[in-house]
Amino acid sequence: MATELPEIPGLTGAADPGDEALDAYSRVVSTVAAEMTTHVASLRVRAVGWGGAVREGAGSGVVFTDDGFLLTNAHVVGTAGGGTAAFADGTESAFDVVGVDPLSDLAVVRARGSTPPAARLGDADRLVVGQLVVAVGNPLGLGGTVTAGVVSGLGRSLPTRSGRAGRVIEDVIQTDAALNPGNSGGALADAAGRVVGINTAVAGIGLGLAVPVNATTRRIVSALLAEGRVRRAYLGLVSVPAPLPAPVVQRTGQATGLRVVEVVPGSPAVRAGLKRGDLVLSVGRSPVSDAQGIQRLLFAESIGVGLPVTVLRNGAMVDVVAVPVELTEG
């Protein structure tokens, strides 16, 4: 007489309800990986500095035009004028550095030879916390590395500096997708295979940061392509987000402004009469609620041009006109 064996979980042959979800996750990651690795190159640079010292560096870059332009980190190329790009299919090409912007940690290079087609660029401003992202790099020409995770934070800030000029990269993407050595300059892609960020730093164990690809990034890239650098306007304000009083919210419909915590001596902000403690409501007649709201206005076209600023001071709205000057790095 046959004896029935008891069912043992995991050995019965029955489908685990989690398998289908896992397979769906794997399919998304593998599809994005297959597409993105063709667009991501390994970049190797070699620069000669003071006293003949040689600096060698490596990172990744993302092809973003069909005629051979790649986007990477400024810290990957440093002061080098060019280098070598190696792609996942085994091809290599020399490249020239077109433009570098240390204050956004972005750089554009152009391959001299043929490259894979351009990756699709997305919009990081549409990301939400918890969304799946895939980090793709090509460290040391090893054919591409892929890690997956989620957007673990948005609106992070990353301080940058070039000479005496300092800036904060706003809206940096925080992710738990591991960033391997050499992944700087690689792509952070969404589930649709669109590049939403350029991997820029490892902030800690299990934590990575990426410069967002958004409207501001596109302006920076356009400036690098046209002039090889980014000209920025400078006001001389240091501010933090702050809630607006209820009567102002009811009147304007705006819930948050920027509290001025420092006005740099001798700056255009001082000359305009802005003061510490002012609550900035709008700049250039556009409401502002974070530093990025001001920074996105401070590009070349604002240099030397009057910029209306509305602040709340001692309960009253005050209008001033500030004239930004060009931000210098020296």
pLDDT in tens, 275-308: 999 999 999 999 988 777 787 888 888 999 999 9
pLDDT for the residue numbered 24:
82
Query: How do residues 102-122 score in pLDDT, each as one tens digit?
Result: 888 899 999 999 999 999 999
pLDDT digits (tens, 9 = 90+) for 229-281: 999 888 888 888 899 999 999 998 999 999 998 888 899 999 999 999 999 99
87-97 average pLDDT score: 91
- Is pLDDT above 70 for 162? no
Q: Which residue has the tokens 């996105």?
A: 296
DSSP secondary structure, 215-228, as one string: HHHHHHHHHHHHHS
pLDDT value at residue 8: 43
* Averaged pLDDT for residues 3-14: 50
- The one catalytic residue among 60, 104, 184, 302: 184
User: Is 289 one of the annotated active-site residues of the chain?
Assistant: no
Q: CA-to-CA distance for 98 and 221, rounded, in angstroms?
A: 10
Percent pLDDT > 70 in the chain is 82
Tell me, what's the pLDDT at 139? 74
Q: For residues 212 and 230, what is the distance between their CA atoms, to the nearest angstrom? A: 17
Q: How many CA atoms lie within 13 A of 145 on its CB side?
A: 21
Residue 238 has a pLDDT of 83
Query: Residues 290, 296, 298, 302: is their CA dihedral positive or negative?
Result: negative
- Which one of the listed residues 39, 75, 101, 239 is annotated catalytic? 75
* Active-site hit among 60, 101, 104, 105: 105
Residue whose token pair is 């948050």: 256
Question: Is 298 within 8 Å of 170 (Cβ atoms)?
Answer: no
Q: Which helix (H) or strand (E) holds 109?
A: strand 106-111
| 309, pLDDT greater than 90 | yes
Annotated catalytic residue 190: no
Average pLDDT of the chain?
84
pTM: 0.79
242's CB contacts (< 8 A; 6+ apart) are 256, 257, 258, 259, 279
pLDDT of residue 1: 53
In sequence order, what are the beta bridge partners of 160?
167
Active site residue 282: no
Give the lowest-confidence range in 138-142, 199-203, 249-253: 138-142
